[in-house]
Structure formats: C-alpha cells, structure tokens
Structure 1
Amino acid sequence: MSVKQLRNIRFALIFCLPLNFIRAEIASNSEIDILHYGIYVELSDTSNSIVGRTTIEFEKSIKSKRLSLDFAALNISKILLNNRETSFNFSDEQITIPLVDSENSDRARVEIHYSGAPTDGLLIQNNRHGRRSFFVDNWPNRAHFWFPCVDHPADKATMTLTVKAPSHYQIVANSSLENQTAESGGAQTWTFAKFSPISVYNIVFGVAEFVITEKYSAGFDKLKYWYFREDSLNVERSFKDAPQMLAYFQHRFGPFPFEKLALVQAVTVFGGMENAGAIFFNENSFKPNRTIEVTVAHEIAHQWFGDLITPVKWNNLWLSEGFASYFGAQYFEKSDSSKFRKLMRQSRSRYLKNKKWRQRAVIEPEPKNLFDLLNANTYTKGQWIVHMLRNELGDSLFWVSMQESVQSFAGSNWETADLRSICEKQAGRKLNWFFDQWLFQPGIPKLDIQYYQEKNGAFYVQIQQKQKTPTMRFPLEISFANGNSTVDKNVICSKQTEQFQWTFPAQNLELQIDKNIKLLADIHLKEKKFLYQKKSNRGSHK
C-alpha cells in the first residue's frame, strides 16, 4: 500500500466499512501448517451472492485434534474431511473441524462448500463508470469474508483459483490463465495456474470489462496493464515507467519473484495494493495531468518486500511498508538525484508535523485494530530508517544486505531481528544501538544548533539534543559554503551537548546542516555565540 493515499482511505476504513474484520485475533492451529488453497468461486450479474468451494491441504502432527479456520457469516452447506462429510462448529467467525478421522496421517484435506453475499473482502459493485465489477480487497485480514482460511500473513501457502462468471468479463488474478471453458447460460470458467506460496491477503482476482495492453521490461516479458477504456490515457501515463522500475528492482533485489505482473485499475479502499503478481490501483487515482509514478514504484518494490518476504508479525509491518516507501522513492535517484532528495525532504517534513507518532515507537505490541498500523511510523519513519541504515552501512554493504534478505527469506516470513542479523553479518559489527533507538524507542533527534565564526577563521558549532526521549546516536553532515565552494564535515553525535571547532581561511561562511538529506531529525539552526569548552563536551569529527 502507498502512504500517499492514507489520509483518504482512513475515513473509509473507520466510517464506511465493517469494523469486525480489523480484529487481530485469528484461528489458532497448534502444529498445523496450511500447504495449499484450491479456491472455486461462481459470480453472477443478477445477485451479489456467490457460490464457493475451498479445498485446503494441510500438514499436521498426530497431536493435532482440530483444524480452526477463519470465515465470516456465509452459509456453509457441507464440509468434507479427506473426502468424507464431517461435523463442524461455526461461530464467532471461526470454523472448527475435528480431526479424529485423520489421526494416523501427517497430511489431510478439507473441502468447504458455501454460499452467500460477502459483506467485505470481495467488493461487488459498479466501478467509477457505472459498470459492474468484482474485486478482491483482502488486507489486512479480510480474506475470510469470502473464503475460509487462516487469515494471517505468517501461514503462507500455494494456491489455485477457478472463477465462473458471465463471459463478457475479463479476469485478472495472481497467476497466469491456464484454461478458459465456455459454460451454458452465457458463462465461462477461468482456471488459473498454481501460484507460489504467498500470504492469504495476497490472494486476489479482479473481474470487469478491461482493456489489456502488453509491455516489455528488460529480462521480463510478462507485464500487462489492465484498465477501464475511458481512463486509458491517464493510466498509460502513470504506468509508463513501470518497465524501467521493474528492471531496476530486479537489478537491486534479484529476478522478479513471480511468473508475471499485472498493473490493474481496480475498485479498492487503498490507493494501491501490492497483491503478488497483480497490483491493484484505486480506480479514482488516474486523473488528467497527474501521475502516480511514486505509488507505482512503491507497489512494484512490494513484490519483493511484502510479498516474496513478508513480516511474520503485524507489528513488524514497517519491514513491508517502510521498505516499499523507501525504494519507491529511491528508484528516482538513479535518473534524478535531486528528485529523490526532494521526495525524502517532503517525507521528513510531513513526519515532523505529526507530533502524535513522534511520541510512539515503530514496533509496539500488536494493536487490536490492525488498521492502526497504517500510520506515520510504519510508513514514513520506517522509510527513513531504511535510508539511515543505508547511510550507516554504506551503499555496497547495504545493497548486499538487501539481496541477502531476499534470498534468505524468499517465499517465507521474517522479522526485524532477521534484518539486524544480516546487516551485522555484512558490517562485521553490532548494530543493536541503531535498531533499538530507531525502532523500539520513541522519538527522533530534536537538535538546537548554534554556531559562530571568529575573525581568525575559527568556526564553532554546538549541537544540543532537546528531544524528551533519550539521547540518540547518529552521524550528521555539516557543510560550510563559500560561493561555489563547499567543505563537508561529518560528525558523530551521541551526547546531549557537543561542540566542534574548525578553522577556515575564508570568512562569512554559510553553514548548512544535512544538505544531502540523510537524517530524520527536527533541526533548528541559529547563529549565536556560546561558551566554547576546549576539553569537555567535544564530539568526534573528521
């Protein structure tokens, strides 16, 4: 998801949609691992009701006595366990199935038949042009409103999808179309290929009357745009750099992790949703004389960070949204470094205005309302932490660390401790102080910087950390400009008050702090003489 759309969607999430889907509780399955979802759905133009059948293959231990699945209030007609009809309990959005008939096997298969009108997760409504459409919108745990599952990102599984719908539609899904069969009554059945292990919220399809165009990206020939015909010019404008973005991220992180990529104009409550292999962009985002190129880069970066490797816990969401927010901006650095710095400067400015989240840590106990995770710490501070980690490690070690992260956790889940371990391995030193102060403690540096220059060329700088939270450690770039000439000095700040002194032959130098936008801090600069202590409070610099 893109941070740019957060203000717009929060109203919809809080006031316009059902609130029971945002609960953090999920089905609890001790010693059970979901391996595969086989999903069949029938759609109609005459009703919002669906007919569904979901087959779930899972691995268990002999101690497993029951299977618990998340599922909302659709009507269950029957459940089969290993092809035999079985009893079950269905209450409080959970199905509980006894496993007494499969005690001697480490694998089992359950098949749930159901029908009804989903109240969320599968959005059945007219699109912005008044034509009927069907779009899956699962994040964070709304998938169980249209098919039974373990609705948590930690339990990844492969999946196959079959959709029966009126034949005048086109259907896009995570994987490629494997087969299309004409049915009676003007319907068709679309069967999609098996897809690699992903989190449940990533399992999607979209059904509408689409225009489809094929594009080519270096080393990847399965890129398509899906959109409504009235918006073709605006969509093409926003998507025009997608092939270059895809090529760039493959260079940085490795081969594209899925068999194809579709960029889809869709009905969704989000500005963009990074569904694996099928990114959905809000249908109303495409306007004349406007581009959502940063959002497009953000969502493509998610294919690696968020989809291929996924946070194991909701409160580690910064590993997905912070990373995508950073790389979505960093993409532009290769062609226009000033644009990248501008994006980071704007990001910092927005965060400094958000006093509420500056007093909170990025990683806190998991909230009861998962949409509370869509906040300035998860996105903006998370983005800045990745940026500052890059500056701490240096470019070479940083990019190697990113590649190792992708390779080590591909198709799986990770947490902040895993990232720290990889970065420490590459750096050859401990980074606990960095992760602790930026992620597990609240606040950012608030710097009161005073300076003056004497006639003999001596230039004095005093840096005081004024934040209410503990003193922090960080590098700071200090630049001295004289016309077209600039001298850069780098200092390490780690005390409440530190003083630095340099001598320059020139007078009337202009002082610049963090000119290359490397630090998330609230900086106040003032020319003012202070008492310089020759020995005490001296910081390190070079």
Structure 2
Amino acid sequence: MFGWDSRKDEKNIITLLALCPSKYNRMKLFIVSLKNHIWIAAFLLLGIVQITAQDLYPKNEKIDVQDYIFNLTLNDDTDQIKGEAIIHVLFKEKEDSFELDLVGKSGIYGMEVTGVFESDKTAHYTFENNRITINPSTNDKGLKTFKVLYEGIPQRGLVIDKTKYGRRSFFGDNWPNLARHWLPSVDHPYDKASIQFGITAPEDYDVVATGEKIEESNLGNGLKLTVYKEPAPVAMKVVTIGVTKFATRLLDVVHNIPVTAWVYPENRLEGFSDYKVASKVLAYFIDNIGPYSFAKLANMQAKTQWGGLENAGTIAYFEDSVTGMNTVEDLIAHEIAHQWFGNSATENNWNHVWLSEGFATYFSILYMEHVYGDEKRKDALALDRKQVIDYYQQNPSPIVDLTIKDPMRVLSINSYQKGGWVLNMLRHKLGDNLFWKGIQDYYKTYQNANVLTVDFQKSMEKTSGENLESFFQQWLFTKGHPEIKWEWVYGNGQVKINLEQVQDHHTFHFPIEIGIVQDDEIKIVQVEVDEQSEVFEINVDTKPDTIVLDPDYWLLFEEK
C-alpha cells in the first residue's frame, strides 16, 4: 500500500496532494528524487502517541463469517446507494449475539438500516455507535444466514467522484478499515470471507470487482446487473468495485490466471502498455513463492486516495500511473506481491502489518533484481536505509510497535522500508536457497489464512534448522539499528579494524562484510559482531587503498 519511492508508490503518490487534509493531519509527505524517478515518497508521522493498547478491535472468535453477498444499486441522480448484504455466519460456539461494522447516518453521510433478517424472518438487532448488533433466534452452533438492508451516502470507502477526464465513477477504496462506510461487515483482517458483488447501475457503465465475472444482464429501463464472485477468503480491506467507463484488454493468461487492464478510454493504449508488465511480475511470483489465490488479476486505473491499493485480484493504481512511458513497473510489482503477502497470508493483527508492507517492499526489490540485476537491489536498499535512519531520529520505535492502536498509524518507514531490510538481512543470514525454501513453506502453510510474526519465524526456523529468536527480537521488536563508529589501521601485513556500537539502548548482534579495496579490486571478509566494542584483525598482502563496510548492502546500520 503506501511505501514511497518509485518502487513502492502504493498508497501515496502525487494523488495524496489532493486528499482531504483531515485524514493526514498527523502526517507529512516528503518527496525525494531518485535517478529516473521523481515520485519517491514516504510518510513521516509528526509524533508518536504514547499509549499502551494493541489493536483494539473487538474480535469475536466464536463466529466466523463464511461469505458475503453484497447487492448494490448505484445511480446517476444522487450519490445515495442502496444495499443488500447477505451474510453466512458460522457459529463455532454458542453465542447470543454478534456484530457488524457499519457507519451510521450523521448529517448527509452514513447509512440507515432499513431491515435485518435471519433467513426470511425479521431479526432482533440494534444499530448504534457504528455497530449493528444482531441477536440470532437461537444461540445454537452452526451456519446461519442474515440479511441487512441499508441505504445512504458513503463519506469514505466508496469514492464517488469524476475521473480526471470528467466521467462519473465509483471506486472501492477500503484500506485499512473503510469498508464499514458502505458495506456491513466484520471490518478487520482477522475474519476473512468469500465475496460476491452484484452491481446494478446505468447500462453505460463498465463494472469490475473482486472476483470472476459470472453474470452481466440487461435489466431494462436503462439498467444493467453485473455480478462478480471470489471464492477465496478475502479481508474487507482489499475488496473493491470499479464502476465507470473503461477500456479493457486481456493482457495475458499466466498459469490459467487471466491478467487484464481496466483503464480510461481516453488513455487506452498508454494504459495497456503500462500495465502489460503485470503478467511478467505475476509469473515471477508464482514460480518463486507458490500458487496465486484469486480468480483473476485485474489492473485498474482508478480514483484512489493511494498511489496503489492491492485489492485482491483487482488492483487499483492512481490515475496518473498511466503515461505510456512504462515507469510504474516497481509499483506494479509491489502491489502484485501483496496478493501473496497481505491478501492471502494476512496479518491477524494490525501491529504486524510489516508482514504485508515489508514483504511487498522487499519482494518488489527481488523482482527488480531478477530483471535488472543486483545493482538495482543495492540502489533500492541504499535509499531505504537512509530513510530508515532519518525516520528513526523522529520516531524511535520498533517495527512491531505494540503502542499503536490506530491502523492508519501502523503504516510508516518501519513497516515498509525497515521491514524490507529485515527480509534482506534474513536472506543474507540463511542464504538464497534456504531463504526461498522458507518463504515457500511459509506461504504454503498460511495461504488463505491469518498470520503473526511468530508464524513466519517458525516457518523460517523449520526450513533452516536455525534458532532465529534473537534475530527476530532485535530487528522486529527492538527499536533502532546498529550505529557504528569505526576506524582502521594497517601494519605488519594486517588490517586492524576498531568497531564500536555507539547506540546506548541495545547491543546488536550481526554479521558484517568488510570490503578490502586494492587496485580497483575488492576482497570481502565477513566478521561477526557480538560486543559493544570489538577489534578485528585481517591478514592482507599489502596496505589496502581503502576499507568499505558492507559494500553489498546486507546490513541495516548507520555509520557515525
């Protein structure tokens, strides 16, 4: 979703400049220029709220939503939508009530509930504080069906606006918890469910949504019904619809997955060209990680508050991503990586969102390395390392920060760039072969499920045979990074390196590569750092021209 350099322009590019200021009143957008790109961005929080809570969403583990059917009616006369939500709920234990999120009417915005039913009978319910509490007719275990009828004007979540070319449009934009503005649901990633959308709209609209298209019917009176169904379980943060005038093209079929482009007719050819690379990205991730979970991969030019939003199987890219110049390959790679990490293997708790964002950040780098070579990886990590260091000066916090309770605040340089750096260091620690085997085992184990950081750790330990507890603790649950002051001297056929960690809150343990440069050639020696201050002696033939720490970018550290 967010991260910001040209590689991870997800949820923030230039489109952010047009956002409602109130949404980001605690954030500052900075733009950095990188070689051929001018839209590298990152969000810096202007302060940290010191709280002690962790993901305060009231989870109900006694129930499990199996699937949603959302039937929506859209029109051109007003922004009001009419909705019918049919929800199949499995009661795993006896339970007297359960709750759905839906933002109630306040002023002109919000939803009014006009009826709630269990099967065909009126259900007992209350609707207050943006929660529908439903009392089933019995508290027995088993599968039960409920229906919610509602209508209103969504303030957020469903973006009803005009495209850059002036056409009316409707785009789902739910991340992180905005589905509740237009879809009654359990609006938290811990409870994923299959999704079906039935969209009734004026017949001149084209419709794309989460899932595979299973019906398109003219209803008469100028209306058309379009139905999409996604069998795989999906979190509400990444379900979507796109309703406007589109030009569409089948770009490719990869491992039986149709890859399509949905772009504005006015920039049809440019959009087809820019999004065509998605098929190559999809093939790389399927071949290296594992099977793709969703019915299709649609790439949609959209009205979105983000630079890109990784909706499951129907990715939204900001309107100006289409240029015809093929400059968004890294963004496309980031969003497609999310289909495995965040969408299929989904964080069970917002505080572990690095399992989504850090993975998408690093796997986009892995893809770019695969296509363009290792210098591309090093360039990306050099930029990310600088951003991590700069961010830490204002926000001294760990990646998994249990003080954060607002899901909007879990998105930061920590969850993106630092999370990606942790994976880079883990890859170096284990080696490419074990790293990829561990990733494949992790995904195979947790495909279409929910995860926490400990689950990823266990998968990597199982594959590698190593105890990774200290690695995960120091890089994910401990703030900061090694701050290294060092010097070297030569004498008697030896290079002596004095290395000191000057941060005072924690002594990190890590391997570091030392590059010994002589006559434009570099010899790399790796040493293990375990103490606050250490001296390393390396035998050499002649005095080096210079010494370089970490020449190949495998360690997240700050040189003092």
TM-score norm. by structure 2 comes to 0.89
- Superposition pairs of residues 346-425 of structure 1, within 5 angstroms: 346-356=383-393, 359-365=396-402, 367-425=404-462
Looking at structure 2, the residues matched to 403 and 34 of structure 1 have their Cα atoms a distance apart, in angstroms, of 28
- 41, 44, 59: which one aligns with 2:90: 59
> Are 1:27 and 1:151, in contact at CA under 8 Å, matched by a contact in 2?
no
- How far is the alpha carbon of 1:214 from its aligned partner? 1.1
> Are 1:27 and 1:69, in contact at CA under 8 Å, matched by a contact in 2?
no
Structure 2 residue 468 is the aligned partner of structure 1 residue 431: yes
- 307, 313, 323: which one aligns with 1:271: 307
Q: Secondary structure at the match of 1:102?
A: coil
Structure 2 residue 21 is the aligned partner of structure 1 residue 15: yes
Structure 2 partner of 1:206: 242
Q: Secondary structure at the match of 2:124?
A: coil
Provide closer, same or farther for how the CA distance between residues 357 and 82 of structure 1 changes in structure 2, counting only shifts above 3 A: farther
- How far is the alpha carbon of 1:30 from its aligned partner? 4.9
Structure 2 partner of 1:69: 100
- Superposition pairs of residues 202-351 of structure 1, within 5 angstroms: 202-216=238-252, 218-287=254-323, 289=325, 291-335=327-371, 336-351=373-388
Can you list the C-alpha shifts for 1:442-477, whole angstroms capped at 9, x where unaligned?
Answer: 0101111101112x3321111110113201011101
Provide closer, same or farther for how the CA distance between residues 502 and 39 of structure 1 changes in structure 2, counting only shifts above 3 A: same
Higher-Rg member (1/2): 1
Looking at structure 2, the residues matched to 484 and 448 of structure 1 have their Cα atoms a distance apart, in angstroms, of 25
> Are 2:200 and 2:225, in contact at CA under 8 Å, matched by a contact in 1?
yes
Structure 2 partner of 1:46: 77
Provide closer, same or farther for how the CA distance between residues 267 and 506 of structure 1 changes in structure 2, counting only shifts above 3 A: same
> Are 2:87 and 2:147, in contact at CA under 8 Å, matched by a contact in 1?
yes
> Are 1:481 and 1:512, in contact at CA under 8 Å, matched by a contact in 2?
yes
Structure 2 partner of 1:536: none
| Counterpart code for 1:32 | I
Structure 2 partner of 1:540: none
Greater relative contact order (Cα < 8 A, sep 6+):
2
Can you list the C-alpha shifts for 1:503-535, whole angstroms capped at 9, x where unaligned?
Answer: 2222343211111111111024xxxxxxxxxxx
Provide closer, same or farther for how the CA distance between residues 10 and 264 of structure 1 changes in structure 2, counting only shifts above 3 A: closer
Structure 2 residue 142 is the aligned partner of structure 1 residue 136: no
Can you list the C-alpha shifts for 1:14-33, whole angstroms capped at 9, x where unaligned?
Answer: 724499xxx96545435111
Provide closer, same or farther for how the CA distance between residues 377 and 62 of structure 1 changes in structure 2, counting only shifts above 3 A: closer
Worse-superposed segment, 287-296 or 341-350? 287-296
Worse-superposed segment, 477-486 or 467-476? 477-486
| Counterpart code for 2:81 | I
Q: Secondary structure at the match of 2:83?
A: strand
Looking at structure 1, the residues matched to 245 and 444 of structure 2 have their Cα atoms a distance apart, in angstroms, of 38
- Superposition pairs of residues 475-494 of structure 1, within 5 angstroms: 475-494=511-530
Structure 2 partner of 1:527: none
Can you list the C-alpha shifts for 1:293-324, whole angstroms capped at 9, x where unaligned?
Answer: 11110001110011111000000000000000
- Superposition pairs of residues 149-160 of structure 1, within 5 angstroms: 149-160=185-196
- 475, 480, 486: which one aligns with 1:443: 480
- How far is the alpha carbon of 1:285 from its aligned partner? 3.0
Looking at structure 2, the residues matched to 26 and 458 of structure 1 have their Cα atoms a distance apart, in angstroms, of 59
Worse-superposed segment, 400-409 or 80-89? 80-89
- How far is the alpha carbon of 1:102 from its aligned partner? 2.8
Structure 2 partner of 1:534: none
| Counterpart code for 2:334 | H
Structure 2 partner of 1:115: 151
- Superposition pairs of residues 177-192 of structure 1, within 5 angstroms: 177-192=213-228
- How far is the alpha carbon of 1:104 from its aligned partner? 3.8
Q: How many residues align?
A: 519
- Superposition pairs of residues 447-526 of structure 1, within 5 angstroms: 447-454=484-491, 456-524=492-560
> Are 1:314 and 1:366, in contact at CA under 8 Å, matched by a contact in 2?
no
- How far is the alpha carbon of 1:481 from its aligned partner? 1.4
Provide closer, same or farther for how the CA distance between residues 441 and 185 of structure 1 changes in structure 2, counting only shifts above 3 A: same
- How far is the alpha carbon of 1:193 from its aligned partner? 2.6
> Are 1:264 and 1:281, in contact at CA under 8 Å, matched by a contact in 2?
yes
Worse-superposed segment, 128-137 or 191-200? 191-200
Name the Cα RMSD after superposition. 2.0
Looking at structure 2, the residues matched to 61 and 354 of structure 1 have their Cα atoms a distance apart, in angstroms, of 44
| Counterpart code for 1:281 | Y
Looking at structure 1, the residues matched to 24 and 88 of structure 2 have their Cα atoms a distance apart, in angstroms, of 30
> Are 1:71 and 1:147, in contact at CA under 8 Å, matched by a contact in 2?
yes
Looking at structure 2, the residues matched to 27 and 351 of structure 1 have their Cα atoms a distance apart, in angstroms, of 32
TM-score norm. by structure 1 comes to 0.92
Provide closer, same or farther for how the CA distance between residues 293 and 274 of structure 1 changes in structure 2, counting only shifts above 3 A: same
Looking at structure 2, the residues matched to 16 and 63 of structure 1 have their Cα atoms a distance apart, in angstroms, of 42
Looking at structure 2, the residues matched to 88 and 269 of structure 1 have their Cα atoms a distance apart, in angstroms, of 34
Structure 2: tracts of 5 or more residues without a match: 26-53, 105-110
Provide closer, same or farther for how the CA distance between residues 38 and 240 of structure 1 changes in structure 2, counting only shifts above 3 A: closer
Provide closer, same or farther for how the CA distance between residues 467 and 9 of structure 1 changes in structure 2, counting only shifts above 3 A: farther
Provide closer, same or farther for how the CA distance between residues 9 and 436 of structure 1 changes in structure 2, counting only shifts above 3 A: farther
Q: Secondary structure at the match of 1:243?
A: helix
| Counterpart code for 1:147 | L
Provide closer, same or farther for how the CA distance between residues 509 and 244 of structure 1 changes in structure 2, counting only shifts above 3 A: same
Looking at structure 1, the residues matched to 495 and 254 of structure 2 have their Cα atoms a distance apart, in angstroms, of 52
Provide closer, same or farther for how the CA distance between residues 328 and 62 of structure 1 changes in structure 2, counting only shifts above 3 A: closer
Q: Secondary structure at the match of 2:402?
A: coil
Can you list the C-alpha shifts for 1:179-222, whole angstroms capped at 9, x where unaligned?
Answer: 11111221100111343111111221100111111112543450
- 30, 36, 58: which one aligns with 2:67: 36
> Are 1:267 and 1:283, in contact at CA under 8 Å, matched by a contact in 2?
yes
- How far is the alpha carbon of 1:11 from its aligned partner? 6.7
Q: Secondary structure at the match of 1:354?
A: helix
Looking at structure 2, the residues matched to 436 and 311 of structure 1 have their Cα atoms a distance apart, in angstroms, of 18
| Counterpart code for 2:131 | Q
Looking at structure 2, the residues matched to 357 and 110 of structure 1 have their Cα atoms a distance apart, in angstroms, of 48
Q: Secondary structure at the match of 2:221?
A: helix
> Are 2:157 and 2:179, in contact at CA under 8 Å, matched by a contact in 1?
yes
Q: Secondary structure at the match of 1:505?
A: coil
> Are 2:211 and 2:230, in contact at CA under 8 Å, matched by a contact in 1?
yes
> Are 1:465 and 1:471, in contact at CA under 8 Å, matched by a contact in 2?
yes
Structure 2 residue 128 is the aligned partner of structure 1 residue 91: yes
Looking at structure 2, the residues matched to 52 and 12 of structure 1 have their Cα atoms a distance apart, in angstroms, of 29
| Counterpart code for 1:15 | P
> Are 1:27 and 1:150, in contact at CA under 8 Å, matched by a contact in 2?
no
- How far is the alpha carbon of 1:487 from its aligned partner? 1.4
Provide closer, same or farther for how the CA distance between residues 452 and 61 of structure 1 changes in structure 2, counting only shifts above 3 A: closer
Looking at structure 2, the residues matched to 356 and 121 of structure 1 have their Cα atoms a distance apart, in angstroms, of 34
> Are 1:326 and 1:384, in contact at CA under 8 Å, matched by a contact in 2?
yes
- How far is the alpha carbon of 1:396 from its aligned partner? 0.8
